[in-house]
Chains A and B, each alone.
Chain A
Amino acid sequence: MLKIEDLVVAYGGIEALKGISLEVEEGQIVTLVGANGAGKSTTLRTVIGLVKPVRGRVLFKGLNLLEEKTHHMARHQITLVPEGRRIFPKLTVLENLKIGAFSRRDEKGIKADLEWVFSLFPVLQERSWQLAGTLSGGEQQMLAVGRALMSRPRLLMMDEPSLGLAPLLVKEIFRIIQEINRQGVTILLIEQNANAALRIADRGYVLETGRIVLEGTGRELLANPQVKAAYLGKRKGL
């Protein structure tokens, strides 16, 4: 569904991505794990068109995404839950959700999806008239996910959805990611919480300073000693 080939991205001469290739198949959950500065966010931001690469290809169902403007991505049913949530603080919760459906014209479908999002996150319905900036961190994250779902994405990219959340909420977010995936949404997930991400992922890629150093199924990577040592908090030899 999504195919990235030999992608090179540089910020002012410094290469953040040094030629990565990866593939996301329809219906999968694919995760990118890696430390800060490995190039995970850059990968997602390039796919959605916020960053222009030096070279490489990004294909979505055969469509060359590098020629598409960011504001057309929603029309191709590609969306992003950005790092740090980035909800619109002075819009109400309901307006935030409606703006997620900005590119859509099917009023009925939008209404149905709003019900769906409310069923996934009942707290958003209770607070629909509140300004989004007044929500707690966890609620804001749910809003960011709900807003992305309102575009009825086929590919949902998420940049650290669990960052800064209490452990119980992290669990909840991961449960919901799986639930969304079951509804037919393909997911490309970035996580620092490699353990939780690899557990739910069909496929994972490990990034280190702009390169993919390991790839495999979620299970394979979980069992990999290198991954264990670097990302799962277990020391070698233990």
Chain B
Amino acid sequence: MTLDLFLQHLSNGISLGSLYALIAIGYTMVYGILRLINFAHGDIFMMATYFAFFGIATFQIPWFITFPLVLVLTAALGMGVEAVAYRPLRDAPKISLLISAIGASFFLENLTIVLFGGVPKPFPAPKLFTDVVQVGTVAIQKLTFYIPVVTILALLGLGYLINRTKTGMAMRAVSMDYETAQVMGININRTIAFTFGLGSLLAAVGGIMWGMKFPQIQPLMGVIPGLKCFIAAVIGGIGNIAGAVIGGFILGIGEIMLVAFLPNLTGYRDAFAFVLLILILMSKPTGILGEKTAEKV
């Protein structure tokens, strides 16, 4: 393999990893605050691509208005799912919440099929992003560069929000102790809703770029990326945001490199994530950045 080709694969892997990272954060944040695997997260990601499709293709709204609109709508959708499927179960056993999550996932998938049809639709990516540039001897889509840049900006924003703002501090406090957080004056319902909104917004950022990179959307497109990003979150240590990012990149780059170096295994591309999951669960079940839960009391 030539260096050029390797770099092309690497840049591909980094942009796929970026997308995984953006979606994985939603899983890990919700897990951190609710101890829940939000199975509907992959479907929220799918809905974001439909929102973008309708904005650009159906209503002919320019992309720079559509994309922010998609972020807002998807965040609202995430908050809606939380309010309908999870909030009423706040004091219920965790297993009820999990089943509700699976229900929410199926509901969103089937709702999309009923409303928009099961036939795949072409994602209307603006030409600005899909243009190809020549780097040395290789041709690379501009998008491949934009994706990591947008991801890094989103991550910086997220880091600032979580570590430097009062709302972020409230999110961290609620994820540790509901009761005490309330005593401190934190409205936990509002904080949890905000967390869902934020995770869904990042999934929308990922969804829009996913749609441009793999420009065909359909109602079940969220299932496999959703599972993989959940795996990414587990690999990184679920509940840990930096872990989700690392897990996302490991998965994205690993998957592309597997196909690049071992073309015979192309058919097993999706299995890669699951094999990695099994390996991690056997060697370090808490994930790369996960910690043991025991704390001094």
How long is the Cα–Cα vector from A79 to B186 in the complex, in angstroms? 13
Main secondary structure of the interface of B (DSSP, over half): helix
Max count, chain A CB within 10 A of own CB: residue among B172, B176, B180: B180
B184 neighbours in A (Cβ, 8 Å): 71, 74, 99-100, 102-103, 147, 151
A140 neighbours in B (Cβ, 8 Å): 296
A96 to chain B, nearest CB (A): 9
B185 near A151 (CB under 8 angstroms)? yes
B168 to chain A, nearest CB (A): 10
How long is the Cα–Cα vector from A86 to B177 in the complex, in angstroms? 8
Max count, chain A CB within 10 A of own CB: residue among B179, B185, B186, B187: B185
Complex interface residues of chain B between 181 and 196 (CB less than 8 A to chain A): 181-188
Mask, A75-101, CB within 8 Å of B = 1, is 100011010111011110001001110
Known: A88-B177, A89-B296, A133-B295. A71 touches B172 (CB 8 A): no
A48 neighbours in B (Cβ, 8 Å): 183
The verdict on A50 contacting chain B, using a C-beta distance below 8 Å, is yes
How long is the Cα–Cα vector from A36 to B52 in the complex, in angstroms? 60
Known: A86-B177, A133-B295, A133-B296. A74 touches B183 (CB 8 A): yes
A60 to chain B, nearest CB (A): 15
Contact of A74 among B185, B188, B296 (CB under 8 A): B185
The number of residues on chain A lying at the interface, defined by a beta carbon within 8 Å of a beta carbon of chain B, is 31
The verdict on B169 contacting chain A, using a C-beta distance below 8 Å, is yes
Known: A75-B185, A103-B185. A86 touches B169 (CB 8 A): no
B180 near A86 (CB under 8 angstroms)? yes
Contact of B180 among A73, A75, A88, A90 (CB under 8 A): A88
A89 neighbours in B (Cβ, 8 Å): 176, 295-296
B186 neighbours in A (Cβ, 8 Å): 71, 99, 102
A21 neighbours in B (Cβ, 8 Å): none
Mask, A42-56, CB within 8 Å of B = 1, is 000000111000000
A88 near B176 (CB under 8 angstroms)? yes
Closest A residue, CB atoms, query B174: A88
Known: A89-B296, A99-B169. A73 touches B177 (CB 8 A): no
Known: A88-B173, A89-B295. A102 touches B180 (CB 8 A): no
Mask, B282-297, CB within 8 Å of A = 1, is 0000000000000111
Closest A residue, CB atoms, query B175: A90
The verdict on B166 contacting chain A, using a C-beta distance below 8 Å, is yes
Contact of A71 among B169, B182, B297 (CB under 8 A): B182
Max count, chain B CB within 10 A of own CB: residue among A72, A88, A95: A88
B182 neighbours in A (Cβ, 8 Å): 49-50, 69-71
Max count, chain B CB within 10 A of own CB: residue among A69, A86, A137: A86
B173 near A71 (CB under 8 angstroms)? no
B185 near A73 (CB under 8 angstroms)? yes
Max count, chain B CB within 10 A of own CB: residue among A71, A72, A74, A85: A71
Complex interface residues of chain B between 119 and 170 (CB less than 8 A to chain A): 166, 169-170
Closest B residue, CB atoms, query A45: B179
How long is the Cα–Cα vector from A48 to B296 in the complex, in angstroms? 25
A79 neighbours in B (Cβ, 8 Å): 183
Mask, A107-149, CB within 8 Å of B = 1, is 0000000000000000000000000010001001000000100
A91 near B179 (CB under 8 angstroms)? no
A84 neighbours in B (Cβ, 8 Å): 297
How long is the Cα–Cα vector from A82 to B188 in the complex, in angstroms? 18
A100 neighbours in B (Cβ, 8 Å): 184
B172 near A88 (CB under 8 angstroms)? yes
Known: A50-B182, A85-B297, A89-B295. A99 touches B187 (CB 8 A): no
Known: A50-B179, A133-B295. A91 touches B172 (CB 8 A): yes
Max count, chain A CB within 10 A of own CB: residue among B170, B177, B296: B296
B183 near A73 (CB under 8 angstroms)? yes
Closest B residue, CB atoms, query A78: B183
B170 near A102 (CB under 8 angstroms)? yes
Known: A91-B173, A133-B295. A86 touches B179 (CB 8 A): yes
B297 near A82 (CB under 8 angstroms)? no
List 5 A-B residue pairs with CB atoms under 8 Å apart, sorted by A's residue number.
A71-B185, A79-B183, A82-B183, A84-B297, A85-B297
Chain A residues close to B by CB (< 8 Å): 48-50, 69-75, 79-80, 82, 84-86, 88-91, 95, 98-100, 102-103, 133, 137, 140, 147, 151
9 A-B pairs with least C-beta separation: A74-B185, A103-B185, A70-B182, A102-B185, A86-B180, A71-B182, A71-B187, A88-B176, A102-B184
Besides A71-B188, A103-B184, 16 more A-B contacts (Cβ < 8 Å) are A49-B182, A69-B182, A71-B186, A73-B185, A79-B183, A85-B297, A88-B180, A89-B295, A89-B296, A90-B172, A90-B176, A91-B176, A95-B172, A99-B184, A99-B186, A151-B184
